[in-house]
């Protein structure tokens, strides 16, 4: 495999790929390789090359694209045209139009594109999905989600440019938007607001799903440290996770049965396997034809981008914006 972009995420992906028995990272490409990226590549025996050489016939079977967001589409297109499978970091593209092009290209070529919507692989969020889908909380009418961080733009300048990163809405809120679409199904309408300056902003997004649920989510680049939370309110119980991926999550699950006794919650932290490793393992098995499609493919990458763009349109217009047609 090859890794394109060996920055913060690409270095981690390289280390995780190197730990997978089914995969060997032979090449990396990075237009401005940092010392850390070079050391990681060297440590794992990967050769530094450029993208065109990496995509030359017979060089790699698949690539990870972990470059700045505005470069994803052109790199994924090049890989697909070269007959190479792709794991692309989220967001799959800077715009929904680019994402649509990628979906169409992948379909027309029968090519495989996995997207790094890693929250689906966090055990606490996967457990929440199972609780909702298995109706163990009864009927869940709403979810509250938050994803807060310091501004990455303090270190990596491109995050401060909305045209490159899409700001906190595209870069951070998309994680929870994707989880909400996965769990509750398509969004009918979106209302969103934003405050702050580019690179240090907060957004608040409300989704009304076609099936009637409401997801409220906040994303911030104005906090001191990374943290996330998720609360689900069901007719028969409540589920809450809060924490950060580095510190582990605290899970409280005071679901009650009819006698009022507490039921055990799903397994909580420590995280049993790194979700970033799990998502790559699933993609690698799919690429090799030894496993099913991973949890997030190009279609899901596009669906999340469509909702992000509806949220951006809502911020601009100060009005709710329709995403999918609701039944009369
Ligand atoms: N899934 C997650 O939890 C998560 C977390 C952080 C970032 N991300 C995403 O990962 C992507 C990368 O983010 P990052 O924080 O690692 O960025 P980064 O700036 O740390 O690293 C990007 C690297 O790509 C290289 N690069 C830039 N343009 C290139 C090109 N055309 N060809 C080859 N290399 C190129 C840069 O030199 C740099 O080394 C972004 O899309 C971001 O949204 C995902």
* Per-residue pLDDT at 190 exceeds 80: yes
The verdict on 134 and 82 lying in the same domain is no
- CATH number of residue 66's parent domain: 3.40.50.720
* Per-residue pLDDT at 325 exceeds 80: yes
314: in domain: yes
327: in domain: no
11: in domain: yes
**Separation between Cα atoms, residue 167 and residue 176, nearest integer Å:** 15
9: in domain: yes
The verdict on 90 and 33 lying in the same domain is yes
**Separation between Cα atoms, residue 89 and residue 115, nearest integer Å:** 6
292: in domain: yes
In sequence order, what are the residues at sequence separation of 6 or more whose Cβ sits closer than 8 angstroms to the Cβ of residue 226?
A: 148, 149, 150, 244, 245, 246
320 Cα: distance to centroid of ligand 1 (angstroms):
32
Query: In this predicted structure, what is the pLDDT of residue 124?
Result: 87
The verdict on 309 and 288 lying in the same domain is no
- The CA-to-CA distance between both ends of the chain, in Å, stands at 49
- Other C-beta atoms closer than 10 Å to the C-beta of 249 total 22
**Separation between Cα atoms, residue 76 and residue 29, nearest integer Å:** 14
**Separation between Cα atoms, residue 159 and residue 30, nearest integer Å:** 18
Confidence of residue 254 (pLDDT cuts 50, 70, 90): low
Confidence of residue 136 (pLDDT cuts 50, 70, 90): confident
Confidence of residue 262 (pLDDT cuts 50, 70, 90): very low
Mean pLDDT score, 114-126: 94
Range with the poorest average pLDDT among 64-68, 286-290, 324-328: 324-328
Note whether 165 and 68 are within 8 A (CB).
Answer: yes
Query: In this predicted structure, what is the pLDDT of residue 66?
Result: 98
328: in domain: no
150: in domain: yes
Mutate to test the pocket of ligand 1, among 3, 8, 147 (most ligand atoms within 8 A of CB): 8
The verdict on 176 and 312 lying in the same domain is yes
The verdict on 58 and 19 lying in the same domain is yes
- CATH number of residue 187's parent domain: 3.30.360.10
Convert the pLDDT of each residue in 210-247 to its tens digit. Answer: 999 999 999 999 998 889 999 998 888 888 888 766 55
- Tally of structural domains, the chain: 2
The verdict on 15 and 128 lying in the same domain is no
Query: In this predicted structure, what is the pLDDT of residue 245?
Result: 60
* Per-residue pLDDT at 269 exceeds 70: no
What mean pLDDT, rounded, does the chain reach?
92
Query: In this predicted structure, what is the pLDDT of residue 251?
Result: 66
Confidence of residue 261 (pLDDT cuts 50, 70, 90): very low
314 Cα: distance to centroid of ligand 1 (angstroms):
28
33 Cα: distance to centroid of ligand 1 (angstroms):
11
Confidence of residue 147 (pLDDT cuts 50, 70, 90): very high
The verdict on 285 and 264 lying in the same domain is no
Report the relative pairing of strands 113-116 and 85-89 from DSSP bridges. Answer: parallel
74 Cα: distance to centroid of ligand 1 (angstroms):
14
Helix (H) or strand (E) holding 315: helix 298-317
The verdict on 185 and 254 lying in the same domain is yes
* Per-residue pLDDT at 30 exceeds 60: yes
72 Cα: distance to centroid of ligand 1 (angstroms):
9
| Range of the structural domain that residue 215 is part of | 123-272+304-322
The verdict on 169 and 29 lying in the same domain is no
- Residues in contact with ligand 1 by the CB-under-6-Å rule are 4-10, 29-32, 34, 37, 51, 66-69, 71, 89-90, 116, 118, 156, 171
38 Cα: distance to centroid of ligand 1 (angstroms):
15
Q: How many residues does the chain have?
A: 328
Nearest ligand 1 atom to the CA of 10 is: 16
Convert the pLDDT of each residue in 60-112 to its tens digit. Answer: 999 999 999 999 999 999 999 999 999 999 999 999 999 999 999 999 999 99
The verdict on 131 and 260 lying in the same domain is yes
Query: In this predicted structure, what is the pLDDT of residue 12?
Result: 94
Q: For 196, left (φ over 0), alpha (ψ -120 to 50), or beta?
A: left
Nearest ligand 1 atom to the CA of 118 is: 1
Using a pLDDT cut of 70, give the percent of the chain over it.
91
The verdict on 173 and 33 lying in the same domain is no
The verdict on 143 and 262 lying in the same domain is yes
């Amino acid at each position: 495999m090859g890794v394109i972009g060996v920055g913060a995420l690409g270095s981690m992906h390289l280390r995780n790929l190197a730990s997978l028995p089914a995969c060997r990272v032979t090449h990396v490409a990075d237009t401005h390789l940092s010392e850390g990226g070079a050391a990681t590549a060297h440590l794992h025996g990967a050769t530094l090359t450029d993208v065109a050489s990496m995509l030359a016939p017979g060089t790699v079977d698949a690539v990870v694209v972990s470059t700045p967001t505005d470069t994803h589409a052109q790199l994924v297109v090049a890989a697909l045209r070269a007959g190479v499978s792709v794991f692309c970091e989220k967001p799959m593209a800077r715009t929904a139009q680019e994402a649509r092009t990628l979906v169409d290209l992948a379909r027309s070529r029968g090519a495989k594109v996995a997207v790094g919507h890693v929250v689906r692989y966090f055990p606490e969020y996967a457990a929440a999905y199972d609780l909702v889908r298995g109706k163990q909380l009864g009927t869940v009418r709403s979810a509250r989600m938050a994803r807060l961080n310091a501004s990455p733009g303090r270190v990596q300048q491109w995050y401060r440019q909305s045209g490159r990163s899409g700001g906190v809405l595209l870069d951070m809120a998309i994680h929870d938007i994707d989880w909400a679409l996965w769990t509750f199904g398509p969004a009918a309408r979106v209302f969103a607001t934003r405050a702050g300056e580019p690179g240090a902003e907060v957004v608040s997004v409300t989704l009304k799903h076609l099936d009637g649920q409401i997801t409220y989510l906040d994303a911030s680049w104005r906090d001191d440290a990374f943290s996330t939370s998720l609360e689900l309110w069901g007719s028969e119980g409540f589920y809450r996770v809060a924490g950060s991926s580095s510190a582990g999550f605290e899970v409280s699950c005071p679901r009650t049965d009819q006698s009022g006794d507490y039921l055990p919650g799903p397994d909580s932290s420590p995280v049993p396997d790194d979700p970033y490793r799990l998502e790559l393992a699933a993609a690698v098995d799919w690429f090799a034809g030894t496993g099913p499609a991973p949890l997030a493919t190009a279609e899901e990458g596009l669906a999340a981008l469509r909702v992000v763009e509806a949220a951006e349109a809502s911020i601009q217009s100060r009005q709710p914006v329709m995403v999918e047609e609701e039944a009369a």
